[in-house]
Amino acid sequence: MCYSDERAEICGIAYALDSDHWGKGIVTEALKAVAAFLFDCVHYRKIIAGCDSENIGSRRVMEKVGMKQEACLRAQIKRKDGSFGDDLQYGLFEGELIREM
């Protein structure tokens, strides 16, 4: 969890995995489990996350757990090479979470 607004009952999440383990479905499965915990046990109302629009893996992870794209913050992210990327913002309500692994 990287952000929390207790008043609005919203939390933000972020994730990163060692490159040796990419493409095995690990982050998708982990995000489903974490989101289920945040809804069922901590009782957040909404979960949010964001990524560079060119980060296809991260976008797919969010879409596979049921998150919906809500906004595009143009040229919001400064990349390591000095260029700027769009920040896609996603949100998830409890009923949208795809729980099956």
List contacts with ligand COA (CB under 6 A): 15-17, 22-28, 51, 55-58, 60-61, 64
Nearer to ligand COA, 24 or 68 (CB): 24
Min dist. Cβ of residue 56 to ligand COA (A): 4
The number of residues making up the chain comes to 101
Residue whose CB is less far from ligand COA, 4 or 55: 55
Sign (positive or negative) of CA dihedral 65, 27, 8, 39: positive
**Residue of minimal Cβ distance to ligand COA:** 57
3-state helix, strand, coil in the chain (%, to 5): 30, 35, 35
